[in-house]
Amino acid sequence: MTEYFDIGGMSCSACSARIERVTSKLDGMNASSVNLLANSMVCDFDESKLTTEDIIKAVEKAGFSASVKANEKPVTKEKYTPIKTRLWASIIFLLLLMYVSMGHMVGLPLPHFINKSPLVFSVLQLILTLPIVYLNRKFFYGGFSALFSGGANMDTLVAIGSLAAIVYGLVAIGVIAFSSNDELIMQYAHNLYFESAAMILTLVTVGKYLESRSKDKTGNAIRKLKDLAPKKATILRDGVEIDIDAQAIKIDDVVIIKPGGGIPVDGIIIQGSTSIDQSALTGESMPVEKTIGDSVMSASVNKSGLIHIKATNVGTDTTLSRIIKLVEETGSTKASITRIADKVSGIFVPVVIAIALISAIVWLIVGKDISFAFNIFVSVLVISCPCALGLATPVAVTVAAGSCAREGVLIKSAEALETLSHVDTIVFDKTGTLTQGNPQVTEVFVYDGSMEEFLTIGASLEKASEHPLAGAVLEHCKDIELKPVQDFSAVAGKGIKGTIDEQLYGGSIKYMEEMGIDLSVAKDDIDRLVSEGKTLLLFGKKDNLLGLFAVADKLKESSTTAIKDLKNMNIDTIMLTGDNKGVAEAIRKSVGIDKAIAEVLPDGKEAEIRSLSESGKRVAMVGDGINDSPALARADVGIAMAKGTDIAIDSADIILMKSDPKDVVLAVKYSKRTMKNIKENLFWAFFYNVLGIPVAAGILYPVWGITLSPMFAAAAMSFSSIFVVTNALRLYKRN
């Protein structure tokens, strides 16, 4: 069976990876996948061998919390102080602490009783640090819990680093309180480093706060999907119209859909004809003509005529429900991207602790006193404080995200930026992504009379029409003076007719042929336009063809350049669309895309992305419609146009505020630069440790009598952090 769980206590990809490892080893577990962003897990297991209680116990044993996911998550009191409160309270205490500890360095006044007493000066810093430690105690609980359970993570790094600074500060206070050496007292009083511990905890909390703001996006997307289908419906029973809840519709019920109404279920039209807007589900740029016997899908919109449909799929079996299920499932099966710092933290932290302990013990064995050994122990911990290691990724990502935002590209998470740097295939939706998303008249041909006369006839007839393409014709002819139309009528799915001095017809090729209009004069034009995938609106009288409008969804100006740039970066490009093959192939050739897949339904788009991922490709999906949301969730990175639907935006990892395809290229370039910067940061962070840890452990003492005091160790640690931050600031440079 398959079961969904809510997971608590995860802070990084090392946490999700550990939970997956632990649960995957359970007897009877077929597959386990953890979604860090959504704090959830989906398990496929043999219920004859394994129970949900067994799974929950295994997760709890690993140091996390778990519960079976409910349809509506209950509101529960947070175990720790809410993150926003922690952040602002930490900042307030940090500012006070920085004023006390460093204010005198820049000439800021301090009360005389503080300046006069080193002990008061030191204890006051401790007092200001303790609230920050308490507010952020979850890092210590989570970090040490993970460490003791064999899975060190970023919380472990934060806890070890800040605790080392606090322990050193406490030792310093002890020296100040009990030493009679005034020089030593002043030395320790000005090198406490409580502010280092407070700064670590506060800065990490800033990052956690920013991450938490994006964690509800998946839930928002699903809620908005559910809101697409109408809540109420009108059905026909025993010849009587009855208003009921849409969820109460049963298979074979006859549902009445009025013009402008949403369709609540999948069904077949049994009465009437109309034009259906399916763009929310299929991505088709043009509404589709439907008549008796044609199928319709839930969440599509009836644009014109009154229709009766017979329900064929209801409840969880409708097209919309299947899309919702895909979004929920693909959020849990998205490839797990592990941060570089998390990959090494499991080894780095225990090794450092071991070095510190072994060094202290060795010096005790060779005859040094406890003070000397503790000095060595603290020095090793402080110089190897993982501030630089912990900052290497988030600082670079924060700077890169800020730079991208300046360019109109919003990055929701560090994982998205990291994953994008490894993408080798980018899949584009067509409508609204590569194209402008609104049909326009691209060409006009006149075969009888003048251009002005033809435009007047076409616009006048379409003015009375409810057909969606009428807007494209009217926009093209907006400066034309219209004439009144008599005896106007619409033939659903075919065309229109009316009288302007004489009987006139407008509509599809098939309708013109039925009306006896001779199309031979336009044969070459029609063949060419149809091969280009354009929609034709023809107008005629008696047996003469007056002219035609070619309507298409135009390409965005930057689409071709964006595809070319991606190909120069050795990235494969694919286009998915619900439009017909003619349109898809024409766009593919115009833009230069490697491959086009046409007539793809929502589950087909998701299936294509899944197929690419399973073949070993690193895939990014670019889209803007509701129908793209499952594919955006399934892809390693989902990229949404800001002018698209809210659901697509919420399902995506990256948002292009200008809805410009060339910003996809910008995002890829920034992701690659960021990953390079992170690797540089990590190198220097470890470089300092490789040089500093042996010195701190006392390797130079036997020959030259040199030891590294905790003050110098902390200074070296601080310098490594400054170096990392400075290097990351280079990402502010524009691409």
Candidates 253, 266, 429, 636; catalytic one: 429
Angstrom distance (rounded) from CA 697 to CA 694: 5
- Specify the residue for token string 């008796």: 292
Residues 6+ apart with CB under 8 A from 429: 283, 575, 576, 577, 605, 621, 622, 623, 624, 625, 628, 631
What's the sign of the alpha-carbon dihedral 15, 724, 682, 618? positive
Residues 6+ apart with CB under 8 A from 196: 162, 165, 385, 387, 714, 717, 718
225 φ/ψ angles, rounded to the nearest 5 degrees = -60, -45
Whether 429 is catalytic is yes
Residue 594 · residue 570 · CB < 8 Å: no
Q: What is the dihedral of CA 74, 78, 84, 86, to 10 degrees?
A: 180
Q: Can you give the C-alpha Rg of the chain in angstroms?
A: 33
Angstrom distance (rounded) from CA 28 to CA 53: 13
Residue 321 · residue 298 · CB < 8 Å: yes
Question: What count of other Cβ atoms lies within 10 Å of the Cβ of residue 238?
Answer: 5
Q: How many CA atoms lie within 13 A of 198 on its CB side?
A: 25
**DSSP state letters, 265-318:** SEEEEEE--EEEE-HHHH--SS-EEE-TT-EE-TT-EE-SS-EEEEEEE-GGGS
Q: What are the Cα distances from residue 52, in Å, to 41, 69, 562?
A: 12, 11, 48
- Provide the phi-psi class of 289: left if phi over 0, else alpha when psi is between -120 and 50, else beta: beta
Nearest to 118 by CA among 196, 191, 185: 185
Q: What are the Cα distances from residue 394, in Å, to 208, 292, 413, 414, 730?
A: 10, 58, 10, 7, 14
- Specify the residue for token string 């122990």: 377
Amino acid at 274: T
Residues labelled as active-site residues: 429
